[in-house]
Chain A
């Protein structure tokens, strides 16, 4: 008899929808159907069925081909690499559980690693901004229950967080928002007329790279100051009009994405958006939320923070202290400046998502990648250790984009013999301890 697993959390994006219903075969081996997920989430669960899944660690040979090796061999190679390297980049963590991260951090503390997560190329800018000016924010349920002014700035949830608008931000009816979409005014600020812009009541097309100036104009307008005629392609009349509309709302929120974090000025774009949000609290209630990408990148930041006090780019290379400086201990800078001697990647694919210069540097160093699948990183690594998919084949804690922790569930068994991240990391830690005692 097929079984239905309910309350399943989707391990794709930071929206972390936790209402999926998944039907699995009675032997716990196959996913038969996925209910409530978006196209991407469904693909993730269905992908487990794909043939050709790697089930054994692989080591790259001098001729560029890969040879199957045992977990013991792979773990020994990894531990020796970590013990030898004087400074190791340990990057990834966004697609694994908080429990696994914790073990990874213990390894890093032993071997002098620099633990960095996907925020480094995603919402790292936002974290820097929050460190500079704080952040007035709320959980997503508050938006559902109260928000009547919703701004999407430099983000496109229709594509990147497909169920965000229906679960939290545009369509749901909440306690004080019984009219749902009709009771809300939706704004979209972007340099493209996106699918998100199509559902907005007001679209403000800003010239690419002029968000900081436009937000500066919003702030100036909120204080009743004078403005030049046009800011980043937006007429000043529009700015005054929108700011007045926002002031008349009861509860406003800005959702922002990589349209702000990736463009000129990076953290400053977020910084000024937060400052605008803060200003608006003099007139009404206003919050701002980062549209975090990976499903558990937030969790990595949380665990690193309670253990070391920094949300990413945590430099433990001195063994006796934790340090942090974005621009120095961040992955792309470490790689392009050749500041590390080995690379350890887990639960992410920098090969696909880092600028190529960083990966060229990485490919010249001893590298181990832990990932369920073949990807752009595994193929330029010395060793690839395949593992069970977290959130599908094993469970663990994850944090949503608003920092709410939600448990991911094991839905099906992993392929025979495949270890989990937690198991692989624990074995690496034990091997590292052994090697260090021997030394």
Chain B
């Protein structure tokens, strides 16, 4: 394998505390090494920013609902299909790109890892088929467990060890990475057309509350010592006044301590917090509660969050929060797709236009930015668009620009039709903070890597770590918003596993992607295996023998093996 020496770049690596100092980075055999031999290919990174490959902690990029979003929106591809370069496949789609475009676009922005945030276990094979076909980037997927029948029965009976054995079994079956919770209890209620809007609403029939589910799953997660914490999409998403539900949920993390061998500190990752930081009690008096929410997050150190920034585009919302999508369809009357998944979860899809001419959309845009700008710990605050829910991930360059430039934010505020109302309902106009590249690196590299339990090899540039490196044509001196956006969207170089995959924004190598999954060994558990057998015989529509996702579906698999038998 070839050897490289990246010279003269400004290095931003919060994992080592390197803040814009000039450092040479040597690469050999896919890893970062102390020094390169004289035969190494020299890459001149003068005036350029050098960072680790970025990690996407939460996006919907593979699987059944993503694909529904793709195929039921041919109009999203109309005049949005092209081929760039000799070695690439045809790319298509704006808000829900095809797998080829997904891999290429992440790579062009300097991303080397992406987490598919919601994998319905029954559809795990589909998720992995798409991951298999997504070029360049490493991926993993979180099975949704927050409305699972097994889980609800075990937790109701306070059987954490049984639940842990079941989760371990499920991760192995689905080649999954961790525990995703979406609208706990509410999605099961949706199977009867109902919902759980607070964490104390009882789940129909199952006689359990969302609060109990969340607490039980935190205990399960730490019992197993998984690399990632529970990853939660809270109840009451997207509704005015929901910030109280958000605070109630976040408080459930109090008193829990992370137990794992990965250096992960949080016990709860709260995702797309923008959708959960709403004040007011209707769309008329809708306002930002980002400050209240971030005040709590800043104090409570065992929580991480991601933002869910609104990008002001026409997009396609999709979530396992079935009742929310039904609610959204009631607001905009655009086409509503829904799939309830037996014993496990549900999902809905509805197109949505975040128009700069609509007050609420402007406020949502502001809230997403405020979360990042109020953050006191960029290592616990990550940038996402909850792709494609608040906007496509391909808008990260624009979000980074808004975060790094007050001028860019002011320009956008001015462009709103109801600027005054947006300003009144938020604090964004009065925030002077401009994030630095070091902070951006924390929010997109070192931070998410630590939260995912991957900081040993990913998210940093220390010798021994994986040679996933992004080099950008900008540095802390760059202030022109357009220049920031352009540079962040078109890496000068992207190294993946020590190979150059992107050069000047052009894909030059399809890379060697890895699928990550977690294999936990637990004590033999006859009870759980009996329950599995029974539920498959009686209630599932597929045989137990056909549930497993074979390893052939996980290209160049990276298995994180754990032992939870002690």
Contact = CB atoms under 8 A, between A and B. Distances in A.
A192 B232 CA distance: 51
A320 B73 CA distance: 20
A127 interface: yes
Interface in A363-398: 397
A292 to B, nearest CB: 14
Interface in A223-250: 250
A127 B193 contact: no
B125 interface: yes
B1 interface: no
Interface stretch (B15-23, B76-84, B252-260, B557-565): B76-84
Given A167-B541, A320-B82, A134 B70 contact: no
A7 B326 contact: no
A138 interface: yes
Nearest to A313: B74
B335 A311 contact: no
Nearest to B541: A141
Contacts of B77: 308-310, 322, 324
Given A130-B337, A309-B71, A309-B92, A19 B539 contact: no
A306 B125 contact: no
A404 B541 contact: yes
Majority-rule SS of A interface residues: mixed
B67 A136 contact: no
B123 A404 contact: yes
Given A278-B336, A404-B542, A134 B71 contact: no
User: What is the interface of chain B mostly: helix, strand, loop, or mixed?
Assistant: mixed
Contacts of A323: 81
Interface residues of A, number: 64
A102 interface: yes
A136 B546 contact: no
Contact of B192 (A132, A251, A311): A251
Contacts of A320: 82-83, 90
B341 interface: yes
B539 A306 contact: no
Interface string A303-336: 1111111110000100111111000000000000
Contact of B336 (A134, A322, A397, A402): A134
B64 interface: yes
B427 interface: no
A194 interface: no
Contacts of A251: 191-192
Contacts of A316: 90
Contact of B123 (A167, A308, A405): A405
B74 A131 contact: yes
Contacts of A142: 191, 340-342
Contacts of B346: 138
B540 interface: yes
Contacts of A311: 71
Interface stretch (A206-214, A279-287, A346-354, A411-419): A279-287
Nearest to B134: A306
A137 B326 CA distance: 12
A403 B338 contact: no
Q: Which 5 A-B pairs have the closest CB atoms?
A: A141-B342, A134-B335, A7-B545, A141-B541, A138-B340
Given A138-B191, A405-B126, 19 more contacts: A131-B335, A132-B335, A134-B335, A134-B338, A138-B339, A139-B339, A141-B343, A142-B341, A144-B541, A168-B541, A278-B329, A301-B71, A306-B62, A307-B89, A307-B100, A309-B77, A397-B129, A402-B339, A404-B541
24 contacts: A18-B546, A131-B74, A132-B335, A134-B329, A137-B337, A138-B191, A139-B339, A142-B340, A144-B541, A174-B538, A303-B129, A304-B71, A306-B70, A306-B99, A307-B98, A309-B98, A320-B90, A321-B83, A321-B90, A322-B77, A397-B129, A403-B123, A403-B126, A404-B122
